[in-house]
């Protein structure tokens, strides 16, 4: 170390003023676009007090909307978890032509407007759609019914689990799985005893994101649901109807459910990141050794 006074470098972006400006901009942006709306939701919801608020929530139409949202989100999450694991397994453990195309297709639901997804389903399985006849003649109603909502929700949330898993599984390689198979474990046992514990954090992370998106889905569901109150209304559709009827406080009361769900998702996500980083810390010496 030199004992001469350290020459002060005039590095860009390190001045006091720059710092203050940047922090202020970030804070103002966060308040206007995130904190303010969040406060508004709860302020409006509780405008007439707790009693009316609980009244809005226990309204049969709201209960029905919660039920339909939960049903479609549950089915979508289960299907997409199974699909996500299968797709991630296929892509990370095998080499085959057309792999890039599959990777691109997995991203499709994220890049396409949800309304278009809804319209596609109407065209495919609606009464006047390609396969409409087939389902109608068997008495199966898809569009303007719960199955349509489930389909649309599943499609929209298709990518989340797979996208979380693929990079993680590609990074881990499959020596542990090979070791398990050579020790006599079946494919089934290898998956549950070796692979699943390895990917548990990214899997949970994907499931949580998938669930959040499934509960809040609006566009695609709006097209296929038909907005039949008490029958095909999800929470987000119910909010829109209440709002359009100038029932602002009721709309915000129902909206507060989705907001709480979003906040819980964020907290769980943070907790998981914390646990994962702790797990990773325990692994660090191992990783360092392999790298050297």
Partner 1 sequence: MSIQIENLTKKFGTFTAVDQLSLTVNDGELLALLGPSGCGKTTLLRMIAGLENPDQGTIKFQENENQVIENRIGFVFQHYALFRHMTVFENVAFGLKVKPRSIRPSKEEIKTKVFDLLKMVQLDWAVNRLPSELSGGQRQRVALARALAIEPKVLLLDEPFGALDAKVRKELRRWLRHLHDELKITSVFVTHDQEEALEVSDRIVIMNQGKILQQGTPEEVYAHPANPFVFNFLGNVNLFHGRIENGEANQVGFVRPHDISLELTPNGLDRFEAVVDRVFSIGNLTRVELKLTESGRFVDSEITKETFDKLQIKTGDKVFIKLNKIKVFQADQNQPEYSI
Q: Which residues bind partner 1 (CB under 8 A)?
A: 175-176, 178-180, 182-186, 189, 193-194, 197-198, 282-286, 289-290
Neighbour count for residue 232 (Cβ, 10 Å): 21
- The CA distances from residue 162 to 57, 73, 184, in Å, are 35, 17, 28
Q: How far is the CB of 163 from partner 1 (least distance, A)?
A: 23
Q: How far is the CB of 183 from partner 1 (least distance, A)?
A: 4
Torsion region of 172: left, alpha or beta (phi above 0 gives left; psi -120 to 50 gives alpha):
alpha
Q: How far is the CB of 82 from partner 1 (least distance, A)?
A: 22
Q: How far is the CB of 184 from partner 1 (least distance, A)?
A: 6
| Closer residue to partner 1, CB minimum distance, 101 or 282 | 282
Q: How far is the CB of 165 from partner 1 (least distance, A)?
A: 17
User: Dihedral angle at the C-alpha atoms of 195, 197, 198, 203, nearest 10 degrees?
Assistant: 90
| Closer residue to partner 1, CB minimum distance, 104 or 186 | 186
Distance CA 16, CA 229 (A): 57
Q: Are 123 and 130 in contact (CB under 8 A)?
A: yes
| Closer residue to partner 1, CB minimum distance, 116 or 179 | 179
- The CA distances from residue 190 to 58, 96, 193, 199, in Å, are 47, 23, 5, 13
Q: Are 250 and 242 in contact (CB under 8 A)?
A: yes
| Closer residue to partner 1, CB minimum distance, 180 or 251 | 180
| Closer residue to partner 1, CB minimum distance, 57 or 181 | 181
């Amino acid at each position: 170390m030199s004992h001469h006074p350290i020459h002060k470098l005039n590095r860009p972006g390190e001045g006091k003023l720059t710092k203050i400006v940047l922090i202020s901009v970030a804070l103002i942006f966060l308040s206007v676009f995130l904190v303010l709306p969040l406060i508004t939701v709860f302020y409006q919801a509780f405008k007439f007090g707790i009693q009316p608020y609980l009244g809005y929530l226990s309204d049969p139409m709201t209960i029905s909307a919660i039920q339909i949202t939960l049903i479609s989100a549950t089915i979508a999450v289960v299907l997409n978890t199974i699909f996500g694991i299968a797709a991630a397994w296929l892509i990370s453990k095998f080499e085959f032509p057309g792999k890039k195309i599959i990777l691109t297709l997995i991203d499709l639901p994220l890049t396409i407007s949800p309304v278009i997804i809804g319209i596609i389903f109407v065209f495919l399985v609606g009464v006047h759609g390609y396969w409409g006849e087939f389902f109608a003649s068997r008495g199966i109603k898809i569009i303007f019914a719960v199955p349509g909502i489930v389909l649309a929700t599943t499609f929209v949330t298709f990518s989340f689990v797979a996208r979380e898993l693929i990079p993680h599984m590609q990074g881990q390689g499959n020596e542990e799985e090979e070791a398990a198979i050579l020790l006599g474990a079946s494919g089934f046992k290898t998956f549950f005893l070796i692979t699943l514990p390895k990917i548990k954090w990214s899997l949970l992370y994907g499931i949580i994101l998938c669930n959040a998106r499934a509960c809040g889905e609006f566009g695609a569901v709006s097209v296929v649901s038909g907005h039949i109150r008490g029958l095909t209304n999800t929470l987000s559709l119910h909010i829109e109807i209440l709002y359009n009827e100038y029932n602002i406080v009721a709309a915000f009361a129902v909206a507060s459910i989705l907001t709480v769900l979003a906040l819980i998702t964020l907290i769980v996500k943070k907790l998981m990141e914390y646990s994962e980083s702790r797990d990773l810390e325990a692994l660090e010496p191992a990783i360092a050794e392999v790298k050297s």
